[in-house]
Structure 1
């Protein structure tokens, strides 16, 4: 039996300056339409307005989903004790470019150390769209002693090459497909780091298209075994190993 399709990176809600788009109805409709069995998701409110309110909203919406949605939490180092607002999260997301905070930033270092002190090992999803960011995060994680895997998202151009270089050095680093749009990019990523470290994530429905992201992976020149790993097997493995933030 084929592995179910699992989307590691989805979002619901409005992205400024758009108006209100409450709930997860659009996301669940897209999942049903394109055969996505499960998704990790987060509220855009946690990115653009309040991590506490947004992370709570995510938990509520996921609890109402019947198990098809799993909660991700946003760690915003600009907010004091933001790392304590992540209870129940299966994935921790950091958005330095979108939220405009630097990586050379004492609150970020303290937040990472706080996670380590709590024994958290869930996967991190890191927006690595700016050259140098992925390398700097890797150094911070090593210094803090964070043991969980890291999935780099938003990868284009030099940022893609940088993430690949890190993944080739250390198997804890993985690549998300959310920004891979060109024909052959997914297959190229697999050829560089292996199918076990390329993870399907769409960014849908608030920051991307579930349909487009899925089509790119399905069109990639991959073996069926490799395609199943990318589309669901790797996410299943990451979530099983990481557990949830206590």
Structure 2
């Protein structure tokens, strides 16, 4: 097993960081690693915003309800970005582009491009001895984040990532068994594997050092999908010129 595989298999989310800011060389390295991610048709349909303004970080922490959004080594916000493709377009060209800018295909492309770039940055950070945590809760108030970051049309905030020197080493959270995520040639049924995984994750929750609780994976998912959440995201995304067709 090589060092890259060991880094990948050792991943855990870090939510407590030492009071040490990333230096410019570290930031540049992470952005460069992100930029080398695969991208659909060479579009590079994403942008990364590093948030260093303490007031903005405090507001983002309020939006997410997570203090480590403010207390970290560096905060990145990853955005889907199709605006860049329009900069050199005249009015007629822009009107001809709208069908593609607004369709589901390019919404997916931009979101996937951003996710690939972010994961490259995450792996690079962990290989440097840093910790990371993705922040999907910036979508709790997507319009507020959009305004805070002054994002133009055809740019939307997707998620954040906090990076820094870890101040904790949490237990590694179990993942679904391979039989529940990898199939050959056709989709398979895997109820028994889920039952076994529920027992595994229940034992993990009972035994971990912080936030012990009685729970299972399927119970979490049932609660999540029975409770409407972030129901404003569709309207905000469409108002920004994404996923309208």
Place the TM-score, normalised by the shorter chain, in its bin.
Answer: under 0.3
More strand by share: 1
Instruction: Report which of the two has the higher share of helix.
Output: 2
User: Which has the bigger relative contact order, CA under 8 A and spacing at least 6?
Assistant: 2
TM-score by length of 1: 0.25
